[in-house]
Structure 1
Amino acid sequence: MRQFINLTVLILAVVLAPGFLYGQRTITGVVTDAVSGETLIGANILVVGTVEGTITDVDGSYSLKVPEGATRLVFSYTGYNSQEVAIGSSDKLDIRLVAGQVLDEVVVIGYGTVKREDATGSVQTV
């Protein structure tokens, strides 16, 4: 019986240790419009200095595993000003983005966004 307990503790230590050693923590929150309070679906969240990132879901919520040593996140959304935020000690960051550009001047294309005047080819309004 004692060997079974020792074996169980050893297996749990081996399985759980890599997660603790890796040093990540999860930041969650909601991204909303600063004026209306509406959630922003598909807003981008990136960890500064890495390629780690995520987007918000249909509720404007996000969950992002942040590597140890990361200090800042960048929040962006088409037609809104980007916002860079310090991570701090809290695991919850709710962000309110301010509308920036007039949407008639921004064209969303298959590989990014450009100003209407810089777009080559035809532009369709939906």
Structure 2
Amino acid sequence: MNEKQTFFSFKPSLWLVRSAVFMLLVAINCLCISAQTTQKIHGVVKSATDGMPLIGVNVVEMGTSNGAITDVDGNYTLTVSAGATLEFSYIGFIAQKIQVKEGVPAYDVVLKEDSETLDEVVVVGYGVQKKVYCLLL
């Protein structure tokens, strides 16, 4: 009987040590994840030709799926990691990349038109219209 008591009393202590080591590893992992700093940035995207705000510009943190689209006034807001690279792209304009600096919350961007892209846009339309004759008396 004494052997069974030793056998059973040893297993729970081994389980306890393994659980403690696992919890310690989880805690260290959480600390590493929270150490990555993020910052909220904002700005306005405008056209270089007329200075008007651009609606619907894609603002994406490169290497991630994190992104935003500019609103009616050309404004955007995005939370990114420090040191991230942002890419601003819009149809008919040259894409622009900007490096985010820690502590700088505002980035206003001016996009230049890409005349080569505008020549490549083709609009195709299909339609059917019935001809109606009207007699005036």
What runs of 5+ residues in structure 2 fail to find an aligned partner?
Answer: 1-33, 126-137
Per-residue CA distance 1:78-108 (angstroms, 9 max, x = gap):
10000011111311000000000353522xx
TM-score by length of 2: 0.59
The verdict on how the C-alpha distance between 1:28 and 1:76 changes in structure 2, with shifts beyond 3 A counting, is same
Mapping 1:10-25, distance limit 5 Å: 21=34, 23-25=37-39
Any runs of at least 4 consecutive aligned residues in structure 1 with deviations exceeding 4 A, and if so which? none
Identity of aligned residues (%): 39
* Matched-pair contact (CA < 8 Å) for 2:53–2:73: yes
- Which protein shows a greater Rg? 2
Q: Give the number of equivalent residue pairs.
A: 90
Aligned equivalents of 2:119 and 2:53: distance in 1?
21
Greater strand share, structure number: 1
Aligned equivalents of 1:62 and 1:40: distance in 2?
11
CA RMSD of aligned residues (A): 2.1
Q: Are 2:90 and 1:77 aligned? A: yes
What runs of 5+ residues in structure 1 fail to find an aligned partner?
Answer: 1-20, 107-115, 117-121
TM-score by length of 1: 0.64
